[in-house]
Structure formats: structure tokens, C-alpha cells
Amino acid sequence: MYDQYQGLIFDMDGTLLDTEPTHRKAWRQALAPYGMQFDEAAVVSLNGSPTWHIAKMIIEHHQSPIDPHQLAREKTAALHNILFDDVTALPLIDVVKRYHGKRPMAVGTGSEHAMAEALLRHLGLLHYFDAIVGADDVSRHKPDPQTFLRCAELIGVPPEACVVFEDADFGIMAAQAAKMAFVDVRALSA
């Protein structure tokens, strides 16, 4: 099905793994002590962004003096406490299994590198991927193409010979900016 591509690159949250409900739960836990809430649609629109960027948006909405990096750390800590119990692989993992050993594959995620690696290891999926690029591995995040360009570099495939699997507008914009083909996985499940 994707034989025409030399390299496959996957977003993680909401694309490979069903982590979105757990992320929302962790946000609620992190925000509760501050009496803050988040607009779910606004947070979904930022899918693929690093946690501190989402924290910044929530803080600005509430006009709070909290440091976004501190709030991001608190959300990540809450996530660590609940994530490994709730997360499952999504059906797209079948594509990963089908191309394992046939095409180099990478994960390009807005999650931190260590979190992505730990989740994939926990689910027995880490060995399928030749590279992981997390939010802390790049200086510019989706919709900037740096995440996906770094993935292509690490798997040794020219960007124009890669396909990106994404579930977020920022990720699709990043794939387009990288001159990569993309699959909007939201259309696959519709």
C-alpha cells in the first residue's frame, strides 16, 4: 500500500497510540490545584505541539503568572502516573508491522523523547522503529518541518521519498513543509 515510499514516519499520540484521553486526564490533574481548566477544542487544535506550548496557551487564557515550563513538568508528572495503565496501540500499528524490516521507520512526536521511547517499549513496539525524534530533540516544533526532516536524516532517506502518518493539522503542515507525502489518519478512521 505504501511501497512507493522509501521511509515511513509516524506521529505517535493519536496516530500510533491512543494517548489522547490520558493526556486530557493529566491536564485536568495538573490544572486542578490552580483552579484552571482547559478548552478541549483549543488543546486538540494544538495536537503535535510540545507540552510547554499548550501550557502557555492555557496560562494565557487564564491570565495566570504560572511558568509554562513548570506547568508542563507538572502535567508530564501526572501523565507518568497514569499513562502506562491506560494507553493502547491504534490500528495503524498494523502498517508498522507490515513494513518492519522492509522500510526504515521513525517516530516524530511532540512528546518528549524519553516518554515516547518508554511508551513504545511498554507496549512492545520500540523495536519496530529505527529512530525517534521527540520535542526535546529539536528546537522548532510542528508545524515547522524540523521534526520530520530530522527523522528522514536519521533513517537515511531523502525527505521527498518519505511518507508521514499524522492526526493533527500542525503535523500535516510540517510534512508539507518538509516536502513529504502524508496520510491524514483521521480520514482512515472516518
- pLDDT reading at 58 higher than 60: yes
Residue type, 78: A
**Residue 25 domain-assigned?**
yes
**Residue 166 domain-assigned?**
yes
**Residue 38 domain-assigned?**
yes
For 21-50, how does the pLDDT look when each residue is reduced to its tens digit (9 = 90+)?
888 899 999 999 999 998 888 887 777 778
**Residue 99 domain-assigned?**
yes
In a shared domain, residues 78 and 98? no
Where does a domain end: 63, 82, 101? 82
Q: What is the pLDDT of residue 56?
A: 94
CATH number at residue 95: 3.40.50.1000
Rounded Cα distance between 182 and 139, Å, is: 22
In a shared domain, residues 169 and 113? yes
Where does a domain end: 82, 107, 128? 82
DSSP code for 145: T
Contacts of the segment 39-42: beta carbons below 8 A, 24+ positions apart: none
Dihedral of alpha carbons 14, 17, 18, 23, sign: negative
In a shared domain, residues 11 and 27? no
Spatial contact of 160 and 179, defined as CB atoms under 8 Å apart: yes
- Mean pLDDT, the chain, whole residue set: 92
Q: Which residues are catalytic?
A: 11
Q: ∠104-108-113 over CA atoms, to 5°?
A: 110
| Parallel/antiparallel/unpaired status of strands 181-184 and 105-108 | unpaired
**Region 152-171: what's the mean pLDDT?**
96
**Region 94-107: what's the mean pLDDT?**
98
- Burial label, 140 (beta-carbon count in 10 A; 0-12, 13-18, 19+): exposed
The number of distinct structural domains making up the chain is 2
What are the DSSP calls for 38-99, one per residue?
Answer: --HHHHHHTTTS-HHHHHHHHHHHHT----HHHHHHHHHHHHHHHHHHH--B-TTHHHHHHH
Neighbours of 16 (CB within 10 A): 28
In a shared domain, residues 52 and 140? no
CATH number at residue 50: 1.10.150
In a shared domain, residues 164 and 71? no
In a shared domain, residues 38 and 63? yes
- pLDDT reading at 127 higher than 80: yes
In a shared domain, residues 184 and 99? yes
In the numeric block, the cell 536524516 is attached to 153
**Residue 1 domain-assigned?**
no
In a shared domain, residues 70 and 12? no
Closest by CA to 72, choosing from 91, 89, 59, is 59
Which domain covers residue 12, as residue numbers? 7-16+90-188
190 pLDDT band, cuts 50/70/90, is low
- pLDDT reading at 111 higher than 80: yes
**Residue 2 domain-assigned?**
no
